[in-house]
Structure 1
Amino acid sequence: MDIPLLPLCDGNQIPMEVGDTKFDQRLVDLVKTAIEKGFYHLDCAEMYGTEEEVGRAIQESGVPREKLFITNKVAQGIDDIHAAIQESLKKLQTDYFDLYLIHIPFFANSDADFQRAWKSMEEIKRAGKAKSIGVSNYLRPHVKATLAGATIPPSFNQIEFHPYLQRGDNYLSWLRENGLQVGSFKGLTPAFRAPDGPLLEPLARIAKAHDTTEVAVLINWIIQNKVVAVTTTTKPERLDEYAQALKIKLTQDELQEITDVGSTYHFRTSWPEHFEADDRS
């Protein structure tokens, strides 16, 4: 499977479609199946509690480490990032991560907290334990605080992004202007978590026009917006559906319709306690 690559500001490249490893007890077999089908970008996190299973699946897959792109994230270990990454590397049975992220910004009470954590991330990159470093769930003030003290700027921000949460105030373009590429999680929200929203009819019509599914249309919309699509599943057959997104190309009119109709509706799935109901930041 030929997954397009997105260049990062540090010279590395990231595959634009991801197999997220947050599965059930069938995790090992599912990850092996995903790898067999060509999903070589695996998105992990210590928060998921599945690192040992993913590590075993990677070893059993027989695919050389250099062919894989492994993302991991630190949250619980934020007070000692050096120890946290060492434990994660051990569980995943690898010497380095291709991309290592600070998972959430809510640990910090000041700009200095962001900058102290980022200093550790820079040290990890210099030590070769992560090829690229970045953040996740960061809003503009969090990124600004991090950049203010950074010697090596973050190259990536993984955020909730989909047609019902396109982020206000030109946030994505601002991130790119500051050297950060963007990854999307919960990108299939209009199909699974808000299926009765205003995109119900447009997605069905566009999917029919391309002889595919609404899920594939949503993933293609994300990718054509130059955002890395992170997907999850507990069903092996879903992997083939996700792969269809790379075989279609939505027209500019279709992309714009999804964007315009999606923007009329607001639906946030993650960390809602940190946001007002109408906050689209």
Structure 2
Amino acid sequence: MNSATSNFEVDASGVSPKQLHGIIPSLKLADGNEIPMLGYGLGTANYKSGAALDTISEPIIAATVTALSAGYTHLDGAEAYGNETELGRAIKQSKLPRSQLFITTKTTVRAGETVTQAFNRSLEKLGLDYVDLYLLHSPFFAKNAEELHQAWREMEKIKDSGMAKSIGVSNFLIEHLQTLFDIPGGLQYPPVVNQIEYHPYLQHVVEGGQDLIAYCREKHIAIEAYSPLTAITKASPGPVDPIYTKLAKKYGVSEAEVALRWCLDQGIVTLTTSSNEERLKGYLKKLPSFKLTPKEVEDIAAAGKEKHYRQFWTQKFDANDRR
């Protein structure tokens, strides 16, 4: 999975946003489809809940159009974010050909309904005929293995329909993935992506035990990182801070760009949720212009293991659970 990152060594200084579309590399998934390695996420920064769910947010539409105009063609949404309608409207307003876009959404499996019902609802809100990637948003809805198996069988049927080009999971640990692989009769389509919170302070490695990243790679499941800037935005100060500062100075980039590059240099698809146009353009300009050395990648990883911080799903894990 690491081979795709070599394209990020291209010098992008002075390149316009439209030209940048051509130098953001894609990662080939196990099903043969390709996913752009840098994406714009509509999660934390553009989340809607409560009474806001009954309204249309023009700021969310505008922020998403800004990301598209800046050069982001990979957009990551979810029903749980409450903004699929805004995502769909932004796509229409951008006037970009659908074939140039990579659209992800995720299912929220509600009590008493099927994955298929949730998927159809998402497509209607998005105003699209298909999505490029559809994910089970988490394994925690399932009370037992049979419920998880049933959900995945529906995911496979959705892929067969052509309305989701690829299917995968999000927030799955090794035991949840293994449950899928233990499905009676075997998998017709294994998950090709596992989207997880990933940053130096949550590398999903248990000392002397499980390594989620290694497991996924063994199973040919691509890793997609959300909240890759957590060490800077939520968990600072910490042991990676001086390393980020040193490398930012060395390469003439921001600490955030070092943090994103750290994920990319591991062959990990990376999402950003910034709504700042200049920052978004800066990522597209700077990230292809430098590459961390293997030692620098390892130095950040080693320092990160000195601290543990989980931003999401904290109610599902003990305070020091690093899985």
TM-score, normalization: structure 2?
A: 0.84
Identical columns (%)? 39
Paired residue for 1:163, among 193, 200, 205? 200
Kept in 2, the 8 Å contact 1:82–1:124? The answer is yes
Kept in 2, the 8 Å contact 1:159–1:184? The answer is yes
Q: 2:245: which partner in 1?
A: 204
Q: 1:263: which partner in 2?
A: 305
**Cα deviations across residues 3-25 of structure 1 (Å, max 9, x unaligned)?**
11111111111111110123444
Is 1:27 the counterpart of 2:60? The answer is yes
Kept in 2, the 8 Å contact 1:215–1:241? The answer is no
Where in structure 2 are the equivalents of 1:98-177 lying within 5 Å?
98-149=132-183, 150-168=187-205, 169-177=210-218
Q: In the TM superposition, what is the alpha-carbon distance from 1:247 to its structure 2 partner? A: 2.1
- Report the 3-state secondary structure (helix = DSSP H, G, I; strand = E; otherwise coil) of the residue aligned with 2:114: helix
Kept in 1, the 8 Å contact 2:109–2:141? The answer is no
RMSD between superposed Cα atoms in Å: 1.3
Q: 1:273: which partner in 2?
A: 315
Q: 1:228: which partner in 2?
A: 269
Q: Unaligned 5+ residue runs, structure 1?
A: none
Q: 2:222: which partner in 1?
A: 181
- Report the 3-state secondary structure (helix = DSSP H, G, I; strand = E; otherwise coil) of the residue aligned with 2:260: helix
Q: 1:6: which partner in 2?
A: 27
Q: In the TM superposition, what is the alpha-carbon distance from 1:254 to its structure 2 partner? A: 1.5
- Report the 3-state secondary structure (helix = DSSP H, G, I; strand = E; otherwise coil) of the residue aligned with 2:289: coil
Q: In the TM superposition, what is the alpha-carbon distance from 1:76 to its structure 2 partner? A: 4.0
Partner AA of 1:60 in structure 2: Q
Kept in 1, the 8 Å contact 2:67–2:275? The answer is no
Q: Please, which moves more after superposition, 66-75 or 244-253?
A: 244-253
Cα distance in 2 between the residues matched to 1:11 and 1:74: 23
Partner AA of 2:175 in structure 1: P
Q: In the TM superposition, what is the alpha-carbon distance from 1:238 to its structure 2 partner? A: 2.1
Q: In the TM superposition, what is the alpha-carbon distance from 1:151 to its structure 2 partner? A: 1.8
Q: In the TM superposition, what is the alpha-carbon distance from 1:89 to its structure 2 partner? A: 1.0
Q: 2:235: which partner in 1?
A: 194
- Report the 3-state secondary structure (helix = DSSP H, G, I; strand = E; otherwise coil) of the residue aligned with 2:32: coil
Kept in 2, the 8 Å contact 1:137–1:160? The answer is yes
Q: Unaligned 5+ residue runs, structure 2?
A: 1-19, 47-56
Q: Please, which moves more after superposition, 94-103 or 80-89?
A: 80-89
Partner AA of 2:80 in structure 1: M
Cα distance in 1 between the residues matched to 2:283 and 2:106: 23
Partner AA of 1:47 in structure 2: A
- Report the 3-state secondary structure (helix = DSSP H, G, I; strand = E; otherwise coil) of the residue aligned with 2:297: helix
Q: Please, which moves more after superposition, 118-127 or 26-35?
A: 26-35
Higher relative contact order (CA 8 A, sep 6+): 2
Q: In the TM superposition, what is the alpha-carbon distance from 1:87 to its structure 2 partner? A: 1.5
- Report the 3-state secondary structure (helix = DSSP H, G, I; strand = E; otherwise coil) of the residue aligned with 2:269: strand
Cα distance in 1 between the residues matched to 2:257 and 2:128: 32
Cα distance in 1 between the residues matched to 2:62 and 2:227: 23
Give the number of equivalent residue pairs.
Answer: 281
Partner AA of 1:17 in structure 2: L
Partner AA of 1:247 in structure 2: S
- Report the 3-state secondary structure (helix = DSSP H, G, I; strand = E; otherwise coil) of the residue aligned with 1:246: helix
Q: 2:102: which partner in 1?
A: 69
Partner AA of 1:13 in structure 2: E
Q: In the TM superposition, what is the alpha-carbon distance from 1:237 to its structure 2 partner? A: 2.2
Q: In the TM superposition, what is the alpha-carbon distance from 1:77 to its structure 2 partner? A: 4.2
Cα distance in 2 between the residues matched to 1:144 and 1:245: 35
